[in-house]
Structure 1
Amino acid sequence: MDPTTLALLSALLALLTTAAYIYTHLLRGPAFPPNAPVLTRETYPLIGSLQFFTRRWEFFQTAIARSRTGNFSFYAGQYPVVGVAGEEGRRVFVEHKGLSFAEGYAALLGGSPKVKKEGNQLLGEDVAGEAGFSAYFNKRLINMLKGNQLKKGLPLLLQDARASLDKLAAEPTGLTDPFDSIYRMVFQFTMRTVACNEIADDPATLSKCLQHFETIEGTATPFSVMYPWLPLWSKVQRTTAGAKLYMIFKRVVDARNKSGIRGDDALQYLIDQGDDITNMLTFVLGALFAGQLNSGINAAWVLIYLANNRYWLERVREEVLSVADRHCPDSSIPLKDRLMRIPVEAWEGEFPLVDMCLKDSIRLQ
């Protein structure tokens, strides 16, 4: 075989190999298992179901209607996704132990900040992707929210709420945008619950953290989900903002270690468990994202829905007054002071209507 023919054959083989790789890894997403629900019709190479990003509610309703079981499959970019509907589907989504919310966030946020132990530098993305860390993350979070840690932090959370609401009440216009004011309030709650008091108590540092958080959240565009392999500018922004968050928390840990002063918060709990700084900071960043993305938005929507529905607004007010009467019967004390005396057990279990409002707000989004 002459050299020219050999060169042409080699070039053709390389071209076919490249084309096969592009088709397998870029144009064609991972295959669904044989028992997966029917694939939606609106699925295209490379982008998957574009309506998932542009008209999500209509897309879900159409896919559910076309499926015999109500369940359906589709691609969000290159990610295979199974949509579930009905009582059993909701139960699987909420309760199944095989599902990892951390990995779900990482995919649909286009990758969340990840700390890797290499000189304690923030290197990549994808929050808590490994199964081992997911187990660690879940264990620590459950212990914080169900154990004595939340109970100890309740007085400070109530003080935060009181200060923020007093500030809103003092506004001369009597108006507020809950997607700003309530969102910021929830961010402070989340910071105090899963991170540290130093940042929650410092408005300037708290504001910087929220700014970095919003930078990371804002880079979760359809492009970053559909094309996670592209070197987009959003990846640089995300990594930079994540690194700045990392350094803020690392300074707090270093200051405690240097001074020997103990905190009484979630970060100190992690330190007391003997966790290394990499796991601690990855946990804090992951917990902030998991908490704020849900609670910050839905808390604002709850108030908006109640403001537009007088019947349920009155029912919720009655529930709040009823709980206050049970735990602080002295009606001569202002309600905002009586609420400060409600124990954590009551906050967790004696507001069924508020809980229903939150769940319905989640359902309506």
Structure 2
Amino acid sequence: MPYSIGLYQAACAFLSAGFAVQAVVAAMVLLAIVVALPFVASQDGTDVDSDEDEDTPPTLPGCLPWLLWDIAPFFRRRYDFLNRGFRLTRAAVWQFKLMNNTVIVLSGASARRAFFYAKGFDLTEGFKMLSGALPMVRGVTSDGLHTKRIATIHKRLAAVQRNAPLTDLIPQILDDARRMLETYEHAGSFDPFEAIYSASRFLIFQTTVRSLSSTELASSPERVARLKTLYDRLDASTTPASVLMPWLPTPALLRKLWATKEIYEMVVDAIQQRERDGEVKNDTLQMLLDSGDERLTVVGFVMGLLIAGARATGTTAAWIVLFLGGHTDWQARARAEIESLLPDTTSSSSLSDALAEIPVATWESSTPVLDAIIRETLRVAQPHTAMRRNLGPDTYIDGKRIPSGAFVLYPFSDVHLDPAIYPDPWRWDPARPHSTKDLGYVGWGVGKTTCLGTRLAKIELKLVLALFLLAFDFSVQQPLPVPNWNDMLLCRPATKCTVAYTKRTQRAL
């Protein structure tokens, strides 16, 4: 089993202890951090305040790499932190330190193109270090995740999105959505950002489990709910200390370890159940097993892609519901587009059955309104910062040296919220043109690192939104909230949002 037994036992002991014990442990860990950080940060021999060469990006002033309270805003309020860096350095390319790691931040059209097409910039290394929210299983989602295993996972993800598997998935996704939406009363309200009870984010997590794991997991509401809780716990356990010092047994690390262990066991149990029963099923797990992939690759596929898929897609779905609730004209246009796709012979069938008859090709080529809605929502409410690590050699961007080993960041806000490209950038308007010049839109990624799950994500969003739009009228109290780009996962606004809904028809879901 790929866990340190000592850490696992420590996690058990900590989580079962009372509040007083947990508080004492937390205080001791904090003291250890304060004492150890100056020594650790000095080990690279770098003097942050030393004179910089002309080709060295300017350093963010007043940010000491060994003081967690100086660098904590990078993890807690990243949008503000990066904007502050651009403002204080007055530079399009600048740097700061995270412990003994150099992090270089880029902006501008030429830097954007160089970033997305640089051969030596590695996404996996960048994300693993600077995000820290993946489940930690040695040989599955960390350390042992070698290039060959990553390539296999990418290959299998491409296979899931071929026409035949997607065609098989459509009725299953719609059935999941139907089952969850049937629990809604004739009229009511919900917060689309609530972790468990929302109609959008949790529903999308359900459909992602259906698309990327096994029937055994996806068909059990209890297992899906538990997985959602555990992945939320991973997000909450990502702290500056847990990312920068993964070797230090902080309370956050122990909670993360506990959540990872339970996710791992649920996935392995589903695999063993399939192998034990010997039953062949038409799902992603069966495809992985039939391909003869090693166990670690199968587990890594499910554990890693569930969190990657559900986060971004769930956030997009939640904001689409909010935006459409505040723009009833676009809500009506989207609904009319979907109704125009329904076969004439299905008036007596359920809504989900009628939608299931629409071919994949139609969903992808004949839904320009839905495409515009998704695209604009990604622009204004997806607070992504692309992360890479330069694996070498040294390279130059806008005349500034990016040394081998340095981490490199590009915030999507640099282009998506640029008023020179998108006038009044915070205004949600699917009719606005999206620039194709100088990589003026990067919502699904560009260059060699586009989102590999784009096709599946778009189909998921369209299916769930289609059923919701046909089943309900809904609205959001004006004015609409502004997306909070400091919330790196949900872009959740500071004030609570409520979507009021009413069933539109007596036709069965």
Q: TM-score range by the shorter chain?
A: 0.7 to 0.9
User: Distance in 2 between the 1:75 and 1:336 partners?
Assistant: 54
- Look up the SS of the partner of 2:64 in the other structure: coil
For residues 15-54 of structure 1, what are the structure 2 equivalents within 5 Å?
23-24=42-43, 37-46=57-66, 47=68, 49-54=71-76
- Look up the SS of the partner of 1:175 in the other structure: strand
The answer to whether the Cα contact below 8 Å between 1:76 and 1:225 also exists between their aligned partners in 2 is: no
The answer to whether structure 1 residue 362 and structure 2 residue 376 are counterparts is: no
| Structure-1 residue corresponding to 2:190 | 176
Deviations 1:234-263 (A, max 9, x none): 222212221111111112111211221012
| Structure-1 residue corresponding to 2:95 | 73
Letter in 1 for 2:173: L
For residues 80-119 of structure 1, what are the structure 2 equivalents within 5 Å?
80-90=102-112, 99-110=121-132, 112-116=134-138
The answer to whether the Cα contact below 8 Å between 2:41 and 2:100 also exists between their aligned partners in 1 is: no
Residue of structure 1 aligned with 2:156, choices 126, 136, 140: 140
The answer to whether the Cα contact below 8 Å between 1:115 and 1:278 also exists between their aligned partners in 2 is: no
| Structure-1 residue corresponding to 2:339 | 324
- Look up the SS of the partner of 1:74 in the other structure: strand
Distance 1:23 1:78, change over 3 A: closer
User: Distance in 2 between the 1:95 and 1:345 partners?
Assistant: 30
- The Cα of 1:57 is off from its aligned counterpart by 2.2
| Structure-1 residue corresponding to 2:281 | 263
Residue of structure 1 aligned with 2:372, choices 353, 356, 363: 353
User: Distance in 2 between the 1:241 and 1:230 partners?
Assistant: 17
| Structure-1 residue corresponding to 2:318 | 300
Looking at secondary structure, tell me which structure has more helix per residue.
Answer: 1
User: Distance in 2 between the 1:28 and 1:298 partners?
Assistant: 42
The answer to whether the Cα contact below 8 Å between 1:72 and 1:82 also exists between their aligned partners in 2 is: yes
User: Distance in 2 between the 1:81 and 1:320 partners?
Assistant: 45
- The RMSD of aligned alpha carbons is 3.5
User: Distance in 1 between the 2:118 and 2:334 partners?
Assistant: 32
| Structure-2 residue corresponding to 1:343 | 359
- The Cα of 1:95 is off from its aligned counterpart by 6.3
The structure showing larger relative contact order (alpha-carbon pairs under 8 Å, at least 6 residues apart) is 2
The answer to whether the Cα contact below 8 Å between 2:133 and 2:234 also exists between their aligned partners in 1 is: no
Distance 1:196 1:322, change over 3 A: same
Deviations 1:175-194 (A, max 9, x none): 11211312211111111111
| Structure-1 residue corresponding to 2:146 | 130
- Look up the SS of the partner of 1:283 in the other structure: helix
- Look up the SS of the partner of 1:291 in the other structure: helix
The answer to whether structure 1 residue 57 and structure 2 residue 79 are counterparts is: yes
- Look up the SS of the partner of 1:255 in the other structure: helix
User: Distance in 1 between the 2:256 and 2:45 partners?
Assistant: 23
User: Distance in 1 between the 2:349 and 2:333 partners?
Assistant: 15
Distance 1:203 1:331, change over 3 A: closer
The answer to whether the Cα contact below 8 Å between 1:199 and 1:206 also exists between their aligned partners in 2 is: yes
The answer to whether the Cα contact below 8 Å between 1:179 and 1:300 also exists between their aligned partners in 2 is: yes
The answer to whether structure 1 residue 211 and structure 2 residue 225 are counterparts is: no
| Runs (5+) with no aligned partner, structure 2 | 1-36, 384-482, 486-509
User: Distance in 1 between the 2:94 and 2:235 partners?
Assistant: 27
The answer to whether the Cα contact below 8 Å between 2:131 and 2:243 also exists between their aligned partners in 1 is: yes
Letter in 1 for 2:277: S
| Structure-2 residue corresponding to 1:14 | none
User: Distance in 1 between the 2:337 and 2:41 partners?
Assistant: 63
| Structure-2 residue corresponding to 1:283 | 301
Distance 1:20 1:187, change over 3 A: closer
For residues 158-237 of structure 1, what are the structure 2 equivalents within 5 Å?
158-168=174-184, 170=185, 174-180=188-194, 181=198, 182-237=200-255
Distance 1:229 1:304, change over 3 A: same
User: Distance in 1 between the 2:138 and 2:63 partners?
Assistant: 35
- The Cα of 1:267 is off from its aligned counterpart by 0.9
Looking at secondary structure, tell me which structure has more strand per residue.
Answer: 2
User: Distance in 2 between the 1:159 and 1:202 partners?
Assistant: 13
Deviates more, 1:341-350 or 1:148-157: 341-350
The answer to whether the Cα contact below 8 Å between 1:183 and 1:296 also exists between their aligned partners in 2 is: yes
- The Cα of 1:99 is off from its aligned counterpart by 4.8
Letter in 2 for 1:85: S
Letter in 1 for 2:255: Q
The answer to whether the Cα contact below 8 Å between 1:103 and 1:127 also exists between their aligned partners in 2 is: no
Letter in 2 for 1:164: M
Distance 1:307 1:326, change over 3 A: closer
Distance 1:344 1:358, change over 3 A: farther
User: Distance in 2 between the 1:258 and 1:28 partners?
Assistant: 59
- The Cα of 1:203 is off from its aligned counterpart by 0.7
| Structure-2 residue corresponding to 1:252 | 270
Distance 1:89 1:251, change over 3 A: same
User: Distance in 1 between the 2:270 and 2:301 partners?
Assistant: 15
Distance 1:275 1:151, change over 3 A: same
Letter in 2 for 1:207: A
Letter in 2 for 1:106: K
- Look up the SS of the partner of 1:167 in the other structure: coil
| Runs (5+) with no aligned partner, structure 1 | 1-17
- The Cα of 1:44 is off from its aligned counterpart by 1.2
Letter in 2 for 1:283: F
| Structure-2 residue corresponding to 1:5 | none
- The Cα of 1:28 is off from its aligned counterpart by 7.6
User: Distance in 2 between the 1:258 and 1:283 partners?
Assistant: 21
| Structure-2 residue corresponding to 1:8 | none
The answer to whether the Cα contact below 8 Å between 1:77 and 1:227 also exists between their aligned partners in 2 is: no
Letter in 2 for 1:177: D
Letter in 2 for 1:107: M
User: Distance in 2 between the 1:26 and 1:336 partners?
Assistant: 65
The answer to whether the Cα contact below 8 Å between 1:71 and 1:84 also exists between their aligned partners in 2 is: yes
- The Cα of 1:67 is off from its aligned counterpart by 6.0
User: Distance in 1 between the 2:232 and 2:109 partners?
Assistant: 34
The answer to whether the Cα contact below 8 Å between 1:77 and 1:226 also exists between their aligned partners in 2 is: yes
The answer to whether the Cα contact below 8 Å between 1:110 and 1:220 also exists between their aligned partners in 2 is: yes
- Look up the SS of the partner of 2:63 in the other structure: coil
Letter in 2 for 1:328: P
